[in-house]
Amino acid sequence: MSDAKAISVLGICGSLRKASFNRAALNTAIELKPAGMSVTVADISQIPLYNEDVRVQGFPPPVETLRQQIKAADALLFACPEYNYSMSGVLKNAIDWASRPPDQPFAGKPIAILGAAAGMAGGARGQLHLRHSCVFLDMHPLNKPEVLIFQAQNKFDADGKLTDDVARGLIRDLMAALLGWARLIGGK
């Protein structure tokens, strides 16, 4: 029997809509995760728009909760929509809030990124912008596999189940890679 410790992952989805393809992709990642990994999903729906005047008075409770969840997690999994060739404002705003001092919680975190988009590029440009922020915040994103679910409107059924076998395989591979990556970086 392996004595490797379990890896806890915090999922963060950049879309708030109920029928979000990105949220559905995150659910698929939970479905296909390997043994030895747990995934919980953050609720970022109540995070206000960033305002430094508010921040200096203390983090709003939904931000404080997110910061604590990030700190406690061994790894992060971002579901990243593409809005106008960038990540969604919802995701950027949550990252901006959580990243503020003291003790910005992203530093050193192993992370994985997946995304679903209506366009043919599958959200590649949005994910690249997220990767830019990862550099500044000293996160350690997996480079591969890239999970770019293009024409997402054709890849999920009415219940939000991902029906595309290639995309499902990539998500399975991503989660397996994240387990190894988190163990390597976290020394677990």
Q: Using CB under 6 A, list all residues that contact ligand FMN.
A: 15, 17, 20-22, 81-85, 116-119, 123, 152
In the complex with ligand FMN, the residue whose CB is nearer, 76 or 117, is 117
Q: From the CB of 162, what's the least distance to ligand FMN, in Å?
A: 12
Of the pair 38, 163, the CB lying nearest ligand FMN is at 163
Does a cis peptide bond (omega within 30 degrees of 0) precede residue 102?
Answer: yes
* Closest approach of ligand FMN to the CB of residue 57, in Å: 31
- For ligand FMN, the closer of residues 81 and 110 by Cβ is 81
> Do 148 and 3 meet the contact criterion of CB atoms below 8 Å apart?
no
CB of 41 to ligand FMN, least distance (A): 13
The answer to whether residues 110 and 185 touch, using CB atoms and an 8 Å cutoff, is yes
Residue 73: other Cβ atoms inside 10 A: 24
Identify residue 134 by its one-letter amino acid code: C
DSSP of 32-67: HPPTTEEEEE---TTPPPP-HHHHTT---HHHHHHH
Nearer to ligand FMN, 7 or 95 (CB): 95
Residue 78: CB minimum distance to ligand FMN, A: 12
Q: Residue 145 in contact with residue 168, Cβ under 8 Å?
A: no
Q: Is the dihedral of CA 86, 165, 183, 15 positive or negative?
A: positive
Could you tell me the smallest distance in angstroms from the CB atom of residue 66 to ligand FMN? 19
Smaller CB distance to ligand FMN: residue 79 or 174?
A: 79
Point out the residue whose Cβ comes nearest to ligand FMN: 119
